């Protein structure tokens, strides 16, 4: 197993190097931390700075969580080496463009990289063994989410970390498939898609905010446009409300208007698109 190098950067960030990969624990403006990454930083850790890192790799609770993540990455790299995946050149054409390189995970399971994207291609024999709710007859599975179907079908070709990520992807993006494979229903809070469906069902008859702006005409209030169930169809009826700005916090799936507390509003608007409309 590769051993991570831990330390602090020139600007006192907690950082780690693991092979060519570099990681940093970045403080957030409002408290807490998030993970950021770098690649092939030849300098000593003590010379690294915030400018060497890019992206947002997810929130971190504390330094212990950062160390646990780096250790997980070390285990992942060790498992990848043990799987002995084989890299080759490939002339293949993919939905994302010409292949610029291929990694053979197993017989008939090939990952292609292209100029802008990438993903797996399966042989006809492999395609037939993918769960019907996840099967693509063409055999292509892009790298952002659909790849989880491949890892679910052949977990032995993937690392512990990859299997964990695939399960999360499946649970959040294809809950029907997850439930069919595992033989049980997902509980509330375990799937973004399931939770979004529940929110839409529970608030189909409520006014849900689809746009908001600080009110120029009513200091301390946020002017919002809401539609029934949060529909964004141009034909859906819309109403405006005033919500105290200190109270307005956009939830995961939207802000629900409480008509007993949030006043319907038909006065001068701060929305450019509503200016000049007939009042009432």
At 155-175, the pLDDT tens digits run 999 999 999 999 999 999 999
Question: Tokens 């009826």 correspond to what residue?
Answer: 237
Q: Which of these, 195, 242, 198, lies nearest to 223 by C-alpha position? A: 242
Q: How many domains does the chain have?
A: 3
Q: How many CB atoms lie within 10 A of CB 185?
A: 11
Instruction: Answer yes or no: is 279 within a domain.
Output: no
Residues 228 and 165 in one domain: no
Residues 77 and 94 in one domain: no
| Tokens encoding 240 | 């405006």
Residues 62 and 91 in one domain: no
| pTM reported for the whole predicted model | 0.81
| Beta strands across the sheet bearing 238-244 | 207-214, 221-228, 238-244, 263-264
53-74 mean pLDDT: 94
**Which positions ≥6 away from 159 have C-beta within 8 Å?**
75, 76, 79, 80, 83
Dihedral sign (CA 181, 80, 67, 18): negative
Instruction: Answer yes or no: is 232 within a domain.
Output: yes
Residues 29 and 97 in one domain: no
Q: Is the predicted pLDDT of residue 92 greater than 70, yes or no? A: yes
Q: Which of these, 143, 167, 152, 157, lies nearest to 104 by C-alpha position? A: 157
Residues 127 and 209 in one domain: no
CA atoms within 13 A on the CB side of 261: 8
Instruction: Answer yes or no: is 135 within a domain.
Output: yes
Lowest mean pLDDT segment, chosen from 15-19, 40-44, 48-52, 274-278: 274-278
Domain that holds residue 101: 86-182
Residues 238 and 253 in one domain: yes
pLDDT at residue number 251: 86
Which of 182, 216, 242 terminates a domain? The answer is 182
d(CA 215, CA 222): 5
Residues 234 and 212 in one domain: yes
Which of 182, 217, 250 terminates a domain? The answer is 182
Residues 124 and 105 in one domain: yes
């Amino acid at each position: 197993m590769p051993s991570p190098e831990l330390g602090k950067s020139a600007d006192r960030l907690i950082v780690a190097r693991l092979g060519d990969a570099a990681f940093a624990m970045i403080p957030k403006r409002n408290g807490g931390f998030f993970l950021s990454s770098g690649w092939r930083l030849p300098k000593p850790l003590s010379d690294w700075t915030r400018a060497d890192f890019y992206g947002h790799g997810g929130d971190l609770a504390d330094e212990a969580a950062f160390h646990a993540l780096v250790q997980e990455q070390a285990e992942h790299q060790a498992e990848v080496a043990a799987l002995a995946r084989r890299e080759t050149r490939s002339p293949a054409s993919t939905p994302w463009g010409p292949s610029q390189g291929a990694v053979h995970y197993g017989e008939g399971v090939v990952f292609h990289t292209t100029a802008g994207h990438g993903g797996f291609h399966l042989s006809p024999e492999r395609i037939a063994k993918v769960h019907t709710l996840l099967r693509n007859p063409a055999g292509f599975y892009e790298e952002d989410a659909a790849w989880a179907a491949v890892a679910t079908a052949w977990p032995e070709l993937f690392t512990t970390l990859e299997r964990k990520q695939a399960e999360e992807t499946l649970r959040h993006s294809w809950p029907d498939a997850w439930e069919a494979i595992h033989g049980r229903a997902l509980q509330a809070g375990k799937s973004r898609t399931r939770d979004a469906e529940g929110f839409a069902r529970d608030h189909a008859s409520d006014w849900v905010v689809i746009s908001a702006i600080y009110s120029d005409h009513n200091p301390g209030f946020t002017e919002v446009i809401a539609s029934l169930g949060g529909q964004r169809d141009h034909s859906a009826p819309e109403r405006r409300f005033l919500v105290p700005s200190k109270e307005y916090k956009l939830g995961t799936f939207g802000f629900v208007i409480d008509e007993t507390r949030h006043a319907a509003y038909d006065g001068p608007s701060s929305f450019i698109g509503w200016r000049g409309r007939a009042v009432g």
